[in-house]
Amino acid sequence: MAVTDVQTPARPRLAALDTLSESQIRAIRAIPRHDAAVPPAIEACRSASIFTADERHALEQAKVFRALPVPVTLSARLPEPGSVLAHDGYGVPLVLTRDKDGQVRAFLNACQHKGSKVVESCEPHMAGRLVCPYHAWTYRLDGQLMGVPRQETFAGLDKSTRPLAQLPCKESGGLIWVILDRHAKADFSSLSDQFAADFEAMEIPTAHVYGYKRFDLKANWKLVLEPFLEGYHVQRLHAQSIGDMFADVPNVYDRFGRHTRQISGKMNFSPDLLEGEVKNIHDIVTHAYLAFPSTVVVTSPYYISVMIIMPTGTTSSKVDYFMLTRGPPDNPKAESLYARSYELILKVFGTEDFRAAEISQEGLNSGALDTVVYGGLEHAIPEFYEILEAAFV
Protein backbone atom coordinates (compact mmCIF):
# COMPACT_ATOMS: atom_id res chain seq x y z
CA MET A 1 0.00 0.00 0.00
CA ALA A 2 1.29 3.45 -0.83
CA VAL A 3 2.23 5.58 2.13
CA THR A 4 -0.36 8.22 1.23
CA ASP A 5 -3.13 5.62 1.15
CA VAL A 6 -2.67 4.70 4.76
CA GLN A 7 -5.74 5.21 6.91
CA THR A 8 -5.56 5.86 10.62
CA PRO A 9 -7.02 2.99 12.63
CA ALA A 10 -10.59 3.31 13.83
CA ARG A 11 -9.42 2.54 17.36
CA PRO A 12 -7.85 4.15 19.27
CA ARG A 13 -9.34 7.36 17.93
CA LEU A 14 -6.16 9.40 17.69
CA ALA A 15 -5.35 11.80 14.91
CA ALA A 16 -2.07 10.54 13.43
CA LEU A 17 -0.13 13.14 11.47
CA ASP A 18 0.38 10.86 8.53
CA THR A 19 -0.15 13.08 5.51
CA LEU A 20 3.01 13.60 3.48
CA SER A 21 4.27 15.43 0.40
CA GLU A 22 5.50 13.56 -2.70
CA SER A 23 9.05 14.62 -1.81
CA GLN A 24 8.77 13.19 1.70
CA ILE A 25 7.47 9.90 0.32
CA ARG A 26 10.39 9.70 -2.14
CA ALA A 27 12.85 10.33 0.70
CA ILE A 28 11.26 7.67 2.92
CA ARG A 29 11.53 5.16 0.08
CA ALA A 30 15.25 5.99 -0.16
CA ILE A 31 15.98 5.07 3.49
CA PRO A 32 18.27 2.03 3.39
CA ARG A 33 17.91 -1.14 5.40
CA HIS A 34 19.55 -0.74 8.80
CA ASP A 35 21.89 -3.66 8.19
CA ALA A 36 22.95 -2.21 4.81
CA ALA A 37 23.62 1.31 6.07
CA VAL A 38 27.19 2.22 6.95
CA PRO A 39 27.79 5.71 8.35
CA PRO A 40 30.59 7.55 6.52
CA ALA A 41 33.84 8.55 8.23
CA ILE A 42 34.48 12.26 7.88
CA GLU A 43 37.11 14.75 8.99
CA ALA A 44 35.49 17.98 10.12
CA CYS A 45 36.42 20.55 12.75
CA ARG A 46 35.35 24.02 13.78
CA SER A 47 37.08 26.53 16.00
CA ALA A 48 35.70 26.39 19.52
CA SER A 49 35.53 30.19 19.35
CA ILE A 50 32.41 30.05 17.16
CA PHE A 51 30.57 29.33 20.43
CA THR A 52 32.42 31.78 22.69
CA ALA A 53 33.62 34.85 20.74
CA ASP A 54 31.62 38.07 20.93
CA GLU A 55 32.87 39.08 17.45
CA ARG A 56 31.36 35.92 15.99
CA HIS A 57 28.05 36.60 17.73
CA ALA A 58 28.04 40.17 16.35
CA LEU A 59 28.74 38.85 12.84
CA GLU A 60 25.88 36.35 13.01
CA GLN A 61 23.54 39.05 14.28
CA ALA A 62 24.50 41.49 11.52
CA LYS A 63 24.60 39.08 8.58
CA VAL A 64 21.91 36.57 9.51
CA PHE A 65 19.54 37.34 12.38
CA ARG A 66 19.06 41.02 11.50
CA ALA A 67 19.44 40.73 7.74
CA LEU A 68 17.68 37.56 6.56
CA PRO A 69 14.14 36.29 7.15
CA VAL A 70 13.83 34.45 10.47
CA PRO A 71 10.84 32.45 11.73
CA VAL A 72 9.29 34.38 14.61
CA THR A 73 6.27 32.29 15.48
CA LEU A 74 3.63 29.95 14.06
CA SER A 75 0.58 30.84 12.00
CA ALA A 76 -1.30 28.83 14.61
CA ARG A 77 -0.43 31.49 17.22
CA LEU A 78 -2.38 34.08 15.16
CA PRO A 79 -5.25 31.82 14.16
CA GLU A 80 -7.91 34.32 13.04
CA PRO A 81 -8.57 37.90 11.94
CA GLY A 82 -8.06 40.15 14.96
CA SER A 83 -5.30 37.97 16.49
CA VAL A 84 -2.51 39.97 18.13
CA LEU A 85 0.78 38.74 19.57
CA ALA A 86 3.70 40.63 21.06
CA HIS A 87 7.06 38.87 20.74
CA ASP A 88 10.45 39.66 22.28
CA GLY A 89 12.50 36.50 21.70
CA TYR A 90 15.08 37.91 19.28
CA GLY A 91 15.72 40.95 21.46
CA VAL A 92 13.65 43.16 19.15
CA PRO A 93 10.22 44.10 20.53
CA LEU A 94 7.65 43.02 17.95
CA VAL A 95 3.92 43.04 17.63
CA LEU A 96 2.25 40.77 15.09
CA THR A 97 -1.32 41.18 13.90
CA ARG A 98 -3.71 39.39 11.57
CA ASP A 99 -6.09 41.88 9.98
CA LYS A 100 -9.69 41.33 8.93
CA ASP A 101 -8.55 40.05 5.53
CA GLY A 102 -6.30 37.45 7.15
CA GLN A 103 -3.02 39.19 6.34
CA VAL A 104 -0.26 38.95 8.95
CA ARG A 105 1.89 42.02 9.60
CA ALA A 106 4.87 42.59 11.86
CA PHE A 107 5.67 45.91 13.54
CA LEU A 108 8.24 47.17 15.95
CA ASN A 109 6.40 47.29 19.25
CA ALA A 110 7.03 50.99 19.86
CA CYS A 111 4.43 53.73 20.03
CA GLN A 112 5.06 56.63 17.66
CA HIS A 113 4.37 59.13 20.45
CA LYS A 114 7.28 58.40 22.80
CA GLY A 115 8.26 54.81 22.13
CA SER A 116 6.33 52.87 24.76
CA LYS A 117 5.58 49.26 23.92
CA VAL A 118 2.04 49.31 22.56
CA VAL A 119 1.34 45.69 23.54
CA GLU A 120 2.95 44.53 26.79
CA SER A 121 1.78 40.94 27.19
CA CYS A 122 3.33 38.25 25.02
CA GLU A 123 0.15 36.14 25.33
CA PRO A 124 -1.79 35.79 22.05
CA HIS A 125 -5.11 37.63 22.23
CA MET A 126 -7.85 39.17 20.11
CA ALA A 127 -8.11 42.92 19.63
CA GLY A 128 -9.87 45.30 17.26
CA ARG A 129 -7.14 47.92 17.65
CA LEU A 130 -3.91 48.50 19.54
CA VAL A 131 -4.06 51.05 22.35
CA CYS A 132 -0.81 52.29 23.86
CA PRO A 133 -0.98 51.94 27.65
CA TYR A 134 0.85 55.27 28.22
CA HIS A 135 -1.31 58.03 26.67
CA ALA A 136 -3.71 55.83 24.71
CA TRP A 137 -2.61 56.57 21.18
CA THR A 138 -4.56 54.03 19.15
CA TYR A 139 -3.53 52.08 16.06
CA ARG A 140 -5.42 49.95 13.57
CA LEU A 141 -4.20 46.37 13.05
CA ASP A 142 -2.59 47.54 9.80
CA GLY A 143 -0.43 49.90 11.90
CA GLN A 144 -2.13 53.17 10.98
CA LEU A 145 -2.46 55.70 13.81
CA MET A 146 -6.18 56.31 14.17
CA GLY A 147 -6.64 58.08 17.51
CA VAL A 148 -4.70 60.64 19.58
CA PRO A 149 -6.36 61.87 22.80
CA ARG A 150 -6.42 65.70 22.94
CA GLN A 151 -5.02 65.85 19.43
CA GLU A 152 -5.66 69.62 19.36
CA THR A 153 -2.68 70.04 21.71
CA PHE A 154 -0.26 68.66 19.08
CA ALA A 155 0.23 71.49 16.60
CA GLY A 156 0.59 70.20 13.07
CA LEU A 157 0.38 66.48 13.96
CA ASP A 158 -0.58 64.50 10.86
CA LYS A 159 -1.67 61.04 12.03
CA SER A 160 -1.06 59.55 8.61
CA THR A 161 2.70 60.21 8.97
CA ARG A 162 3.07 58.26 12.22
CA PRO A 163 2.12 54.62 11.62
CA LEU A 164 3.81 51.86 13.61
CA ALA A 165 7.17 50.94 12.07
CA GLN A 166 6.49 47.91 9.88
CA LEU A 167 8.91 45.06 9.19
CA PRO A 168 8.96 42.78 6.12
CA CYS A 169 6.82 39.74 6.97
CA LYS A 170 5.68 36.60 5.16
CA GLU A 171 3.65 33.57 6.15
CA SER A 172 4.91 30.31 4.63
CA GLY A 173 4.16 26.70 5.54
CA GLY A 174 2.66 27.68 8.89
CA LEU A 175 5.65 29.76 9.99
CA ILE A 176 5.63 33.55 10.20
CA TRP A 177 8.92 34.91 8.85
CA VAL A 178 10.11 38.43 9.60
CA ILE A 179 13.19 40.45 8.61
CA LEU A 180 14.16 42.24 11.81
CA ASP A 181 15.67 45.26 10.05
CA ARG A 182 12.98 47.82 9.22
CA HIS A 183 15.13 49.21 6.39
CA ALA A 184 15.69 45.80 4.75
CA LYS A 185 14.20 44.95 1.36
CA ALA A 186 11.31 42.52 1.63
CA ASP A 187 13.30 39.69 0.03
CA PHE A 188 11.88 36.30 0.95
CA SER A 189 13.40 34.44 -2.01
CA SER A 190 15.53 32.38 0.39
CA LEU A 191 12.46 30.59 1.77
CA SER A 192 11.95 27.04 0.53
CA ASP A 193 8.85 26.13 -1.46
CA GLN A 194 9.54 22.47 -0.65
CA PHE A 195 9.50 23.21 3.06
CA ALA A 196 6.22 25.03 2.63
CA ALA A 197 4.81 22.04 0.68
CA ASP A 198 5.99 19.55 3.33
CA PHE A 199 4.66 21.65 6.20
CA GLU A 200 1.34 22.12 4.44
CA ALA A 201 1.14 18.36 3.81
CA MET A 202 1.73 17.85 7.54
CA GLU A 203 -1.00 20.44 8.25
CA ILE A 204 1.28 22.70 10.29
CA PRO A 205 -0.52 25.88 9.12
CA THR A 206 -3.79 24.73 10.67
CA ALA A 207 -2.38 22.75 13.59
CA HIS A 208 -3.46 23.14 17.18
CA VAL A 209 -0.87 24.45 19.64
CA TYR A 210 -1.31 21.87 22.40
CA GLY A 211 1.65 23.11 24.43
CA TYR A 212 4.02 26.07 24.45
CA LYS A 213 7.02 26.69 26.68
CA ARG A 214 9.76 29.34 26.59
CA PHE A 215 13.24 28.22 27.68
CA ASP A 216 16.05 30.59 28.70
CA LEU A 217 19.35 28.79 28.20
CA LYS A 218 22.95 29.55 29.06
CA ALA A 219 24.29 28.30 25.77
CA ASN A 220 25.18 29.65 22.35
CA TRP A 221 22.28 29.08 19.94
CA LYS A 222 24.35 26.71 17.79
CA LEU A 223 24.99 24.40 20.74
CA VAL A 224 21.22 24.28 21.28
CA LEU A 225 20.68 23.51 17.61
CA GLU A 226 23.37 20.85 17.11
CA PRO A 227 21.58 17.88 18.75
CA PHE A 228 18.67 18.37 16.35
CA LEU A 229 21.03 17.92 13.39
CA GLU A 230 22.51 14.57 14.40
CA GLY A 231 21.45 11.14 15.61
CA TYR A 232 24.80 10.25 17.20
CA HIS A 233 23.79 11.39 20.69
CA VAL A 234 20.33 9.83 20.73
CA GLN A 235 21.16 6.34 22.01
CA ARG A 236 23.60 7.84 24.53
CA LEU A 237 22.27 11.13 25.91
CA HIS A 238 18.71 9.79 25.76
CA ALA A 239 19.57 6.28 27.02
CA GLN A 240 17.10 6.58 29.91
CA SER A 241 14.22 8.10 27.89
CA ILE A 242 13.82 7.54 24.14
CA GLY A 243 17.24 6.23 23.11
CA ASP A 244 16.16 2.67 22.45
CA MET A 245 13.64 3.77 19.79
CA PHE A 246 16.33 5.12 17.47
CA ALA A 247 19.11 3.49 15.48
CA ASP A 248 22.64 4.73 14.75
CA VAL A 249 22.22 4.79 10.99
CA PRO A 250 22.60 7.36 8.23
CA ASN A 251 19.48 9.16 7.16
CA VAL A 252 18.22 10.65 3.94
CA TYR A 253 19.56 14.21 3.89
CA ASP A 254 18.18 16.82 1.51
CA ARG A 255 19.08 20.44 1.18
CA PHE A 256 16.67 23.08 -0.13
CA GLY A 257 18.65 26.31 -0.45
CA ARG A 258 19.87 27.07 3.07
CA HIS A 259 17.31 24.73 4.65
CA THR A 260 17.84 21.04 5.36
CA ARG A 261 15.66 17.99 5.89
CA GLN A 262 16.75 14.69 7.40
CA ILE A 263 14.47 11.65 7.37
CA SER A 264 15.57 8.62 9.31
CA GLY A 265 14.23 5.18 10.04
CA LYS A 266 13.60 4.40 13.69
CA MET A 267 14.84 1.21 15.32
CA ASN A 268 11.80 -0.69 13.99
CA PHE A 269 12.21 0.59 10.40
CA SER A 270 12.64 -1.73 7.46
CA PRO A 271 11.95 -0.79 3.82
CA ASP A 272 9.67 -3.87 3.57
CA LEU A 273 7.29 -2.21 6.01
CA LEU A 274 6.42 0.34 3.31
CA GLU A 275 4.96 -2.46 1.20
CA GLY A 276 2.63 -3.61 3.97
CA GLU A 277 -0.01 -1.81 5.97
CA VAL A 278 1.59 1.16 7.68
CA LYS A 279 -0.79 2.39 10.36
CA ASN A 280 1.12 5.60 10.98
CA ILE A 281 4.29 6.41 9.04
CA HIS A 282 5.65 8.46 11.97
CA ASP A 283 5.84 5.29 14.05
CA ILE A 284 8.71 4.11 11.85
CA VAL A 285 10.39 7.28 10.54
CA THR A 286 11.36 10.66 11.96
CA HIS A 287 11.52 13.89 9.98
CA ALA A 288 13.88 16.58 11.27
CA TYR A 289 13.81 19.93 9.49
CA LEU A 290 16.07 22.89 9.96
CA ALA A 291 14.43 26.06 8.67
CA PHE A 292 17.44 28.36 8.38
CA PRO A 293 18.80 29.79 10.52
CA SER A 294 17.56 28.13 13.69
CA THR A 295 14.05 26.70 13.64
CA VAL A 296 13.69 22.97 14.10
CA VAL A 297 10.65 20.87 13.19
CA VAL A 298 10.62 17.24 14.37
CA THR A 299 7.86 14.70 13.84
CA SER A 300 6.53 12.19 16.34
CA PRO A 301 3.65 9.76 15.77
CA TYR A 302 0.88 11.99 17.11
CA TYR A 303 2.43 15.42 17.32
CA ILE A 304 4.99 17.74 15.78
CA SER A 305 7.58 19.68 17.75
CA VAL A 306 8.62 23.12 16.56
CA MET A 307 11.52 24.89 18.26
CA ILE A 308 12.45 28.44 17.42
CA ILE A 309 15.97 29.00 18.77
CA MET A 310 16.81 32.66 19.28
CA PRO A 311 20.27 33.98 20.19
CA THR A 312 20.20 36.54 23.00
CA GLY A 313 23.96 36.84 23.55
CA THR A 314 27.21 35.03 22.74
CA THR A 315 26.52 32.34 25.33
CA SER A 316 22.76 32.66 25.85
CA SER A 317 19.64 31.89 23.89
CA LYS A 318 15.91 31.46 24.19
CA VAL A 319 13.85 28.64 22.74
CA ASP A 320 10.15 28.75 22.00
CA TYR A 321 8.98 25.12 22.07
CA PHE A 322 5.59 24.28 20.53
CA MET A 323 3.87 20.91 20.56
CA LEU A 324 1.42 20.79 17.65
CA THR A 325 -1.42 18.33 17.24
CA ARG A 326 -3.92 18.04 14.43
CA GLY A 327 -6.64 19.40 16.72
CA PRO A 328 -7.43 19.74 20.41
CA PRO A 329 -7.85 16.38 22.15
CA ASP A 330 -11.49 15.40 21.80
CA ASN A 331 -11.60 12.28 23.92
CA PRO A 332 -9.98 11.10 27.18
CA LYS A 333 -7.59 8.73 25.42
CA ALA A 334 -6.22 11.54 23.23
CA GLU A 335 -6.02 13.91 26.19
CA SER A 336 -4.05 11.39 28.18
CA LEU A 337 -1.72 10.59 25.23
CA TYR A 338 -1.04 14.27 24.49
CA ALA A 339 -0.46 15.09 28.16
CA ARG A 340 2.01 12.22 28.57
CA SER A 341 3.73 13.11 25.28
CA TYR A 342 4.10 16.76 26.33
CA GLU A 343 5.59 15.78 29.66
CA LEU A 344 8.03 13.37 27.97
CA ILE A 345 9.15 15.76 25.25
CA LEU A 346 9.76 18.60 27.71
CA LYS A 347 11.87 16.20 29.74
CA VAL A 348 13.80 14.91 26.72
CA PHE A 349 14.46 18.31 25.14
CA GLY A 350 14.54 20.37 28.33
CA THR A 351 16.59 18.21 30.65
CA GLU A 352 18.59 16.21 28.12
CA ASP A 353 19.25 18.09 24.83
CA PHE A 354 19.22 21.59 26.33
CA ARG A 355 21.25 20.42 29.31
CA ALA A 356 23.85 18.99 26.89
CA ALA A 357 24.04 22.43 25.24
CA GLU A 358 24.55 24.17 28.58
CA ILE A 359 27.21 21.80 29.87
CA SER A 360 29.03 22.00 26.53
CA GLN A 361 29.02 25.79 26.81
CA GLU A 362 30.50 25.55 30.31
CA GLY A 363 33.28 23.28 29.08
CA LEU A 364 34.00 25.43 26.02
CA ASN A 365 34.09 28.59 28.16
CA SER A 366 37.05 27.06 30.02
CA GLY A 367 39.21 27.41 26.92
CA ALA A 368 40.12 23.72 27.06
CA LEU A 369 39.52 23.14 23.34
CA ASP A 370 40.89 24.92 20.30
CA THR A 371 38.59 22.99 18.01
CA VAL A 372 35.50 20.80 18.18
CA VAL A 373 35.37 17.73 15.93
CA TYR A 374 32.47 16.04 14.14
CA GLY A 375 32.03 12.43 12.95
CA GLY A 376 30.07 10.86 10.12
CA LEU A 377 26.86 10.55 12.16
CA GLU A 378 27.12 14.33 12.71
CA HIS A 379 27.87 15.34 9.11
CA ALA A 380 24.90 17.70 8.91
CA ILE A 381 26.48 19.99 11.52
CA PRO A 382 29.61 21.03 9.58
CA GLU A 383 27.45 21.19 6.45
CA PHE A 384 25.14 23.59 8.29
CA TYR A 385 28.14 25.70 9.31
CA GLU A 386 29.21 25.95 5.68
CA ILE A 387 25.75 27.27 4.82
CA LEU A 388 25.87 29.69 7.77
CA GLU A 389 29.38 30.94 6.96
CA ALA A 390 28.41 31.47 3.30
CA ALA A 391 25.86 34.00 4.56
CA PHE A 392 28.64 36.09 6.14
CA VAL A 393 30.22 37.16 2.85
Give the footprint of Fe ion on residues 337-366 (CB under 5 A).
353
- Nearer CB in complex with ligand FES: 132/308: 132
Binding of residue 231 to Fe ion (CB under 5 A) = no
Residue 247 interacting partner from ligand FES, Fe ion, none (CB closer than 5 to 8 Å by kind) = none
Point out which residues pair with 107 in neighbouring strands. 95, 166
**Strand order from edge to edge, sheet including 70-74:** 70-74, 175-178, 169-172
- From the list ligand FES, Fe ion, none, partner contacted by residue 134 (C-beta under 5 to 8 A by kind): ligand FES
Which pairs with CB-CB distance under 8 Å and at least 24 residues apart come from 325-333?
A: 325/15, 325/17, 325/207, 325/208, 325/210, 326/15, 326/17, 326/203, 326/207, 326/208, 327/15, 327/208, 328/208, 328/210, 329/210, 331/13, 333/12, 333/13, 333/14
In the bound complex, what is the minimum distance in angstroms from residue 153's beta carbon to ligand FES?
13
Residues that bind ligand FES (CB under 6 A): 111, 113-114, 116, 132, 134-137
Hey, how many other C-beta atoms are within 10 angstroms of the C-beta on 296? Answer: 21
Q: From Fe ion, ligand FES, none, which one binds at residue 227 (CB under 5 to 8 Å depending on kind)?
A: Fe ion
353 binds, among ligand FES, Fe ion, none (CB under 5 to 8 A by kind): Fe ion
Nearer to ligand FES, 132 or 364 (CB): 132
Work out whether 89 is an interface residue with Fe ion (CB under 5 A): no
Task: List b or e across 198-208, with b for residues whose CB sees 16 or more CB atoms inside 10 angstroms.
Answer: bbbbbbbbebb
Least spacing, CB of residue 183 vs ligand FES, in Å: 23
Q: 1 or 136: whose CB is closer to ligand FES?
A: 136
Residue 137 touches which member of Fe ion, ligand FES, none, C-beta under 5-8 Å by kind: ligand FES
Closer residue to Fe ion, CB minimum distance, 9 or 363: 363
- Do 48 and 315 touch, CB atoms closer than 8 A? no
Pairing of strands 104-108, 166-167: antiparallel
Which residues are at the interface with Fe ion (CB under 5 A)?
A: 227, 353
